[in-house]
Amino acid sequence: MSSGRAARAPRRQCLAVLTRVILKGESLTVALIDETADLPAREAAWTRALAYATVRWYIRLEAMVEWMLERPLKSRDALVRVLLCQGLAEIFHFGTPDHAAVRETAELTRAIQRPGAVGLVNALLRRALRERGALSVLMDRSPRTRYACPAWLVRGIRGAFPDTWEEVLRASVEPAPMTLRVNLARTDRGAWLRRLSHAGLSGTAHPTVPSAVTLDEPVDVEHLPGFSEGEVSVQDAAAQWAALLLSPRPGERILDACAAPGGKTGHLFEVAGGELELTALDVDARRVVRVDENLRRLGYRAQLHVGDLADTEGGWSDGLFDAVLLDAPCSATGVIRRHPDIKCLRRASDIPALAERQAELISAAWKLLRPGGRLLYATCSLLARENESVVVPWVARTPDARVLPLSFPGGVDREVGRAIPLGTDGMDGFYYALLAREA
Ligand SMILES: C[S@@+](CC[C@H](N)C(=O)[O-])C[C@H]1O[C@@H](n2cnc3c(N)ncnc32)[C@H](O)[C@@H]1O
């Protein structure tokens, strides 16, 4: 972004986004949609990229600010701290020329009516430039600041992946690839890749997930061949194991118990060649609208319900299901590449309540499963506490539950189920456990 007034609008909008995320605890996705709505497309993309880079590295950037300050900032200067982190992100993670990063951040300080902080902003960013190498060495000393990951999450990842935790953390600060799911009920992956190439785009077949394609560069979905006809959908490769492992057969009665926005719902249909009696439930009415939109594009029809799975009086179900997909609400720590704000917004204290809720949801789903039926428990969490530590005790206290073996490439076995470490073959982090109800 060049200098001058035009450069300031995106920086100012970026600061507005960061203020909402860091100071008000709002979601990065929502703040970006609101704050870039009035920007031209190129500036909106630039703002998005800077906001992502700043949030992705925020814990490291904030530690740099703390280290360089001679006196701690007052609480009323919280906005200045965020602004300094944005300026440091430009220097360390965004490739802005040094002089432009300092000048534009100082100008932004004036533009937001904080003239008293201009001196500090100038001095601190100039010092960061002078001591760039030493600062990086210092920040690389601990995993928390090396990978901009909260200490509680570093501990959780080390506990879950004792041998490969550092690979997981390294992957967690990389931008995520754009991964697609080819609808194998309608087309063949090789044929679709050829059409992609004719459209002037490039991607590769995922090495382990048969329906997945990784694009070399992200693109707007309208440019993807066959997108509006439902031949391809955006979905991470790890998430594509859900429908493959539950493996619905044509004609089965399936419950997608936490369905919105419907990524896995569509895949369940594709795996069964479109022939399913599928109920898609979600507690969030606005997100259920998205399930409807996704299924319409794919050309499949499900029974859609807004309701709480744990509310057996909900009246949304009659009869039992052959199979249930329970893609449970979780910390989403497996998708921190895509949603780096999770690292700033989640607290360690959230996890026990999530784990308790997950066990309740498995019990609720179990009651809806016919004897002889199967349940797939899935999370996009990296934490044992939400995965095997939920499922193992639940199985132990459920006499008619039997654990089914899971084997797929790229995962690691757990006492029950299998975990996919974030970054394996470019995938998000996921956990799956498949249970059968004794007939
Ligand atoms: C991980 S997301 C599901 C993603 C979805 N399966 C997909 O692939 O697109 C978890 C969902 O669970 C829903 N949810 C949370 N608590 C629920 C409950 N008690 N009953 C039903 N849905 C619930 C949330 O609204 C959220 O949409």
CA distances (Å), origin 259, targets 243, 269, 289? 12, 13, 11
> Domain count of the chain?
3
- Do residues 273 and 204 share a domain? no
Are residues 291 and 197 part of one domain?
Answer: no
Question: b vs e for 251-272, b when ≥16 Cβ sit within 10 Å of the residue's Cβ?
Answer: ebbbbbbbbbbbbbbbbbbbbb
Q: Are residues 278 and 326 in the same domain?
A: yes
Q: Are residues 331 and 365 in the same domain?
A: yes
Q: Is the CB of 258 under 6 A from ligand 1?
A: yes
pLDDT of residue 72: 85
Model confidence pLDDT, tens digit, residues 220-273: 999 999 999 999 999 999 999 999 999 999 999 999 999 999 999 999 999 999
pLDDT digits (tens, 9 = 90+) for 152-174: 999 999 999 999 999 999 999 99
- Cα-to-centroid distance, 262 and ligand 1 (Å): 9
Q: Is 287 in the pocket of ligand 1 (CB under 6 A)?
A: yes
Q: CA 110 to CA 97: how far, in whole Å?
A: 20
Residue 18 is part of a domain; what is its CATH number?
1.10.940.10
pTM (two decimals): 0.96
Do 398 and 424 belong together in one domain?
yes
- Provide the 10 A C-beta neighbour count for residue 70: 7
Q: Do the strands 303-306 and 277-282 form a parallel or antiparallel pair, or are they unpaired?
A: parallel
End residue of a domain, out of 141, 168, 195: 141
Residue 6's pLDDT band, with cuts at 50, 70 and 90, is low
Q: Is the CB of 305 under 6 A from ligand 1?
A: no
Whether 164 is covered by a domain: the verdict is no
Asked if residue 56 has pLDDT above 80, the reply is yes
Measure CA 386 to chain center.
16
Q: What is the pLDDT of residues 98-131, one digit of tens each?
A: 999 999 999 999 999 999 999 999 999 999 999 9
What pLDDT is recorded for position 313? 72
Residue 362 pLDDT > 70, yes or no? Answer: yes
Query: Would you say the C-alpha torsion 130, 150, 263, 186 has a positive or negative sign?
Result: positive
* Omega cis (within 30) before 261: yes
Determine whether the shortest distance from the Cβ of 263 to ligand 1 is under 6 A.
yes
| Domain of residue 196, residue span | 179-234
Separation of 159 CA from ligand 1 center, angstroms? Answer: 26
What is the CA(196)–ligand 1 centre distance, in A? 32
